[in-house]
Chains A and B, each alone.
Chain A
């Protein structure tokens, strides 16, 4: 998303902060951030145009951070992208290897049950879908 007007930033670094209700999980400099937006994955580079988005369940990848790329599984949150910083608020955020697989499998089952029970209620179906996607995001990424 970097363009000429933001050329000054393109060599720079992004300040990335991942904030959960319990604490600031990570606060670092990085060269890129990949966000699981609800409407699709998006990547922010230094100099990106300001953007505000809700984020769904998926991988948050902080590229070029200290100690290499950092990956988190996140769900239910918001992200603000500014030319020089990215702030992610997420109700759920853990390192892939810290995911509670048992709980995630239970969540997947619950979600699937909700989905089959939802009938043609669009609101309930959407909520069930969200639960399933969240569980899949937690399970779909093998620990590293």
Chain B
């Protein structure tokens, strides 16, 4: 039997661990609350933009009848040969299976896509360090070389100078990781809209240049602590009729948490003093939500300061940025919720361990005392 001193030392060490996990849980809960607030604050913009897009879609035809050209390259639907998959994962660990789940859903999507059509090529981009590290380890990194102006051809007039020059891509594998610097610079804990916009505009530009034919986004959707799932959504081309609502434009794959996981989340939230529903806040939120939904949708003939089609075309890229930003906010909230749950489980595991160690220690101590008494008694009897 282990000696009492060793057991006491182990108990102390587990107690320290429990203190740390408990502190981490409380920090995660505080950050979750803040992340939820940021979502609430960001929602009116995203909802209003989605509403005006839906309204413009009804008012303006996607194809200009006089030139039969599309109003925006973002509406163009091409055969999906080159796909971009953006995954939003976490920056840090200690969040249970949070990033693993997203990566698993994303790799499953990559496998399914390749199996459905061998000719499809996939580019990968990641927001969040965990996903980025995974892609870097498991897929080839895309290589670009600077644009080489074919001077002779240019002189002969063979080069279309109106086409924006794009870097040359040396593709070696079907699935490649883009390792975009702008995306790598994003720190999820201090996410700013500007950072996300730069990434979104790059995506839009690549789509407009027909380098990619579809853009998918894999992230952890967060409606509330109890309502979350990992989804893969198509965000480009913008052709779905369901646009105009922020809810899942075009979901291709999803993974729901089990009831047990949900239960654990609820318990963790309750023990961290996090209200699952806040009636007062929700009323304010509902009011803004309602008013935002009406943006640009009044049943009147608007005057337009510029052609309505131009307004329509300029809403589209902004909508993509807003989608990406809002998805990142949701992902951040779910990361904190996952960390809170994981740390709550770790704390209760530590408590269980302390209980069982304490029991063993008491037994060991009792055994030692009993042994001593036997020794004394038998010593006395021998005299």
Q: Which residues of A contact B (CB under 8 A)?
A: 17, 19-24, 37-40, 42, 49-54, 76-78, 80, 82, 87, 89, 91, 119-124
Instruction: Say yes or no: A87 contacts B305, CB within 8 Å.
Output: no
List 5 A-B pairs, minimum CB-CB distance, nearest first. Answer: A53-B305, A23-B41, A21-B193, A52-B302, A50-B300
Instruction: Say yes or no: A121 contacts B164, CB within 8 Å.
Output: yes
Chain A-chain B contacts (Cβ-Cβ < 8 Å), number: 97
CB distance from A80 to the nearest CB of B (A): 5
**In the complex, which of the residues B49, B162, B305, B322 contacts A39, with contact meaning CB atoms closer than 8 Å?**
B305
Residue B45 CB within 8 A of the other chain = yes
Instruction: Say yes or no: B52 contacts A49, CB within 8 Å.
Output: no
A residues near B310, Cβ cutoff 8 Å: 54
Instruction: Say yes or no: A21 contacts B306, CB within 8 Å.
Output: no
**In the complex, which of the residues A19, A22, A37, A78 contacts B315, with contact meaning CB atoms closer than 8 Å?**
A78
B residues near A76, Cβ cutoff 8 Å: 318
Instruction: Say yes or no: A50 contacts B295, CB within 8 Å.
Output: no
A residues near B239, Cβ cutoff 8 Å: none
**In the complex, which of the residues B161, B197, B318 contacts A120, with contact meaning CB atoms closer than 8 Å?**
B161
Instruction: Say yes or no: B306 contacts A54, CB within 8 Å.
Output: yes
The dominant DSSP class at the A interface is strand
Q: Which residues of B contact A (CB under 8 A)?
A: 38, 41-42, 44-46, 48-49, 52, 161-162, 164, 192-193, 197, 288, 291-292, 295-296, 298, 300-306, 308, 310-311, 314-315, 318, 321-322, 325
**In the complex, which of the residues A17, A21, A50, A89 contacts B302, with contact meaning CB atoms closer than 8 Å?**
A50
Question: What are 17 A-B interface contacts by the 8 Å CB criterion?
Answer: A21-B321, A22-B42, A22-B192, A24-B41, A24-B44, A50-B302, A52-B52, A52-B302, A52-B303, A52-B305, A52-B311, A53-B306, A54-B314, A78-B314, A91-B193, A121-B162, A121-B164
Instruction: Say yes or no: B302 contacts A23, CB within 8 Å.
Output: no
B residues near A124, Cβ cutoff 8 Å: 164
A52-B311, A80-B52, A89-B45 known; A24+B288 contact, CB < 8 A: yes
Inter-chain pairs besides A21-B322, A24-B41, A121-B161, 17 sampled, C-beta below 8 Å: A17-B291, A19-B48, A19-B292, A20-B193, A22-B45, A37-B306, A38-B306, A42-B305, A49-B303, A52-B304, A53-B305, A54-B305, A78-B314, A82-B300, A87-B48, A91-B318, A122-B162
Instruction: Say yes or no: B295 contacts A87, CB within 8 Å.
Output: yes
CB distance from B305 to the nearest CB of A (A): 4
B residues near A122, Cβ cutoff 8 Å: 162
Instruction: Say yes or no: B315 contacts A50, CB within 8 Å.
Output: no
CB distance from B367 to the nearest CB of A (A): 64
Instruction: Say yes or no: A19 contacts B306, CB within 8 Å.
Output: no
CB distance from B136 to the nearest CB of A (A): 29
